[in-house]
Chain A
Amino acid sequence: MFVTSAYAQTAPAATDPHAAPAGEVHTETGAAHGGEHGGGVFPPFDSTHFASQLLWLVITFGLFYLLMKKVIVPRVGGILEHRHDRIAQDLDEAARLKAEADAAVETYEKELAAARSKGHQIAETAREAAKTKAAADRAAIEAELSEKLAAAETRIGEIKAQAFAEVGQIAEETASAIVDQLIGAKASGEDIKAAVAAAKTGA
């Protein structure tokens, strides 16, 4: 049974019908494997193909090596280097922008401080000016008031003096009238005057 199946498998390969029985034996059992590939050698150790293996290995691996060396390695290396450079460049750019932003913030802070101090200064000046003006106004008003007061006092003094002066005359007239009524004679003006003056000083 095995023989026939083996025969069926090898038969198409065997062109010479006389070679078929040999093929049957080879393929049938493990022990006969060797016969199939000449010399009964385990195929990896079969030296009949070494020359061809070496030649084709040299051709294919040589080509592969050249391709790697000339095309692939420079290309991949270039890609990686380009990316590396790009990342470094982007980092530099980011650092530069950050420095710029920091500088802008610093300038802003400086300007803000300057503006603040300037505002403070302006407020101070305005306050100072207002204070000075108020003081000046007060001084002016006070001066005016004291002037008016002085004027008023002078006037009062005048009126008082005038009133005192008029008091003597009124007293003389009154005394003259009283004397006239009492004694029915006219007293001389000099006497009355003297009497009034004496009363005045006595009072």
Chain B
Amino acid sequence: MALAAVPESPRESLTSAPPRRARRIGEVLLAVENISLRFGGVRALSNVSFDIRKGEIRAIIGPNGAGKSSMLNVINGFYHPQEGRILWKGQARARMRPHEAAKGGIARTFQNIALFKGMSTLDNIMTGRILKMRASFLEQALWIGRGRSEELRERAFVERIIDFLEISHIRHTPVGKLPYGLQKRVELARALAMEPELLLLDEPMAGMNLEEKEDMCRFVLDVNEEFGTTVALIEHDMSVVMDISDRVVVLDYGKLLADGTPEEVRNDPAVIEAYLGVSHG
């Protein structure tokens, strides 16, 4: 991809990340085509099309109310667009509910953290493995046969994620008691536990301080690099977006404003006018 040649951001780099990762970006994993979504008379999305390629980090940006979260909700089945279609690995997808999208390999985090607050970090992440568990009800209840071996196997898997995201010290803490930045990290861990093919992150760095942002950037890059997970993220911090994403979609008032490499988007006059020029001059 031409992306490999994108020069370093002139802005202060948030991460000490390597220069552009030599990553293989594959075929189109998910494509949205002419998506329109209305709530009553309000148009949240109008005729939006773009695609997400395997292995890339795709940013979705735009001013508040541009329809970014609505787009994620369409992709993972919380909303059903009135028009348009969604292609998953080249196949048109039928109307899909969120748990079916999860089964299909789409995991996500939420803008306003949606964790199971009464459960420990470990239990929260374990819920991400629910779809992987096959043992029968009795085997699980009585802790025999597959029930036992499976639980141990999944626990081991989750422990690796816990190590990877450096949250082993809060393993047994109820997540409701954790500070905001760590909650975001646990939410990412839960999504990773699903071993998704496509990871949707809704403002993973919102409300974080600089240090937490740097950590989160590093984790997103590592996930993408080490597991080859495709990432689509909504983010407001432009330096983060320019730093870590391969391609950027810009939405404004529910319409597609621009689509391209960070460099192209940054220099797009329409984008500068609608977004960058205003809040990030």
Whether chain B is bound by chain A comes out as: no
- Report A's interface with B, CB cutoff 8 A: none
